[in-house]
Amino acid sequence: MNAAHRFALRVYYEDTDLAGIVYYANYLKFIERGRSEWVRGLGIDQGKLKAETGVVFAVRRVLADYLKPAVYDDALVVETRLHSLGNARIDLQQSVLRGDDVLFTAEVTLVCMSADGKAARIPKALRAALG
């Protein structure tokens, strides 16, 4: 749908496991940062959105595929692409790359939730920003 948002990061020693490769759960942290920066890049302040509307986003589903390992000091890029948009759901495709090598991919479903934990419509401002 839209062009990929790109977020650069570096692998630190704390990101690696005993084998010297990025610990598998850290890829989820990397893509979380990528999603946060994607939303920020759309001009949406998530703190302000919560304060004004009570709306937050929660991960509903992640389908992850670990393809190649990243190691200490690698320069990585998280790419985030909007795949589809529902009334209360956002489906994304995310990848972690080292140069041209795709190391990790994920299909992520986010849900928009109200303060009481129930599904809520995606706010108009965010829907407009998503195009």
From 17, 65, 73, 101, active-site residue: 17
Assess whether 17 carries a catalytic annotation: yes
Tens-digit pLDDT string for the chain (131 aa) = 568 999 999 999 999 999 999 999 999 999 999 999 999 999 988 899 889 888 999 999 999 999 999 999 999 999 999 999 999 999 999 999 999 999 999 999 999 999 898 999 998 888 888 87
Burial of 57 (0-12, 13-18, 19+ CB in 10 A): buried
Instruction: Tell me the C-alpha distance between 114 and 119, whole Å.
Output: 6
Outline where 42-111 has alpha helix (H). Answer: 46-53
